[in-house]
């Protein structure tokens, strides 16, 4: 199969107009940066987008505790099942016999999120019946190797902190 190429006209064969267009764009950006009118480069470690993040921004998922320091997560595993890249791993365990909150039935023994696989879709936050998992406004999730990108339960609670308000699993009327 032979593909015919279109014939270039005489200005296209010169390449000179295209070179002038590129130089004009470069000159325009140079003037803007010279007079401080169009600085578009952010000096990342010193400057951050934190103050300018939109309200709907979805960042790194974290776990939160209630105001009494109890885990909100009941290991229902809905977030694990709905996660498209399978970045969440949960291993549930039974709550000890003497605990007054035994009615919850289970709590997470292992709760890991692989941040290298996470696509920040927000489905885990939407599906959580106990409001235990939240996406925080954080875009700087770093690690030197893959093992550092797996956030374990302790790190997730450290990042998430405390969320106040009604928690369904601790509601006496439930």
User: Could you report the per-residue pLDDT of 105-125, keeping only the tens digit for each?
Assistant: 688 999 999 999 999 999 999
Q: Mean pLDDT, to the nearest integer, of 1-20?
A: 85
Residue 50 pLDDT greater than 50, yes or no: yes
Tell me, yes or no, whether 28 lies in a domain. no
- The total number of structural domains in the chain stands at 1
Residue 90's pLDDT is 96
- The answer as to whether 37 is a domain residue is no
Contacts of residue 77, Cβ cutoff 8 Å, sequence gap at least 6: 90, 92
pLDDT: which is higher, 18 or 168? 18
Does residue 100 fall inside a structural domain? yes
Whether 34 is covered by a domain: the verdict is no
Task: Tell whether 8 is covered by a domain.
Answer: no
Neighbours of 131 (CB within 10 A): 17
DSSP 3-state percent helix, strand, coil across the chain (nearest 5): 30, 15, 55
- Tell me what the mean pLDDT of segment 87-92 comes to: 95
In a domain, 32, yes or no: no
Please report which helix (H) or strand (E) contains residue 118, including its range. Answer: none
Strands (E), the chain: 61-63, 88-94, 106-114, 133-135, 150-151
Chain center to CA of 90: 19
pLDDT band at 174 (very low <50, low <70, confident <90, very high): very low
CATH classification at residue 129: 3.30.70.3270
Please state the separation of Cα 66 from the chain's center in Å.
22
In a domain, 21, yes or no: no
- Predicted confidence band of residue 104 (pLDDT cuts 50, 70, 90): low
Three-state DSSP state, 97: coil
pLDDT averaged over the chain? 85
The reply to whether 19 falls in a domain is no
For tokens 């998992």, the residue is: 133
Task: Give the domain extent around 99.
Answer: 52-170
Partners of 110 in beta bridges: 91
pLDDT tens digits, 34-49: 887 776 677 887 888 7
**Cα–Cα–Cα angle for 162, 166, 171, rounded to 5 degrees:** 120
List the one residue out of 150, 132, 5 whose CA is nearest residue 77. 132
């Amino acid at each position: 199969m032979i593909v015919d190429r279109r014939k270039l006209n005489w200005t296209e064969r010169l390449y000179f107009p295209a070179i002038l267009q590129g130089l004009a764009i470069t000159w325009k950006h140079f003037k803007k940066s010279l007079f401080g009118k169009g600085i578009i480069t952010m000096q990342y470690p010193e400057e951050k987008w934190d103050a300018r993040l939109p309200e709907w921004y979805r960042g790194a998922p974290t776990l939160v505790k209630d105001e009494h320091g109890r885990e909100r997560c009941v290991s229902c595993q809905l977030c694990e099942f709905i996660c498209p890249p399978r970045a969440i791993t949960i291993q549930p365990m039974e709550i000890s016999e003497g605990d007054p909150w035994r009615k919850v039935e289970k709590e997470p023994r292992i709760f890991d999120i692989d941040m290298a696989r996470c696509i920040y879709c927000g489905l885990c936050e939407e599906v959580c019946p106990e409001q235990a998992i939240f996406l925080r406004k954080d875009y700087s999730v770093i690690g030197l190797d893959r093992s550092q990108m797996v956030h374990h339960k302790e790190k997730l609670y450290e990042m998430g902190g405390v969320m106040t308000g009604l928690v369904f699993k601790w509601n006496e009327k439930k």
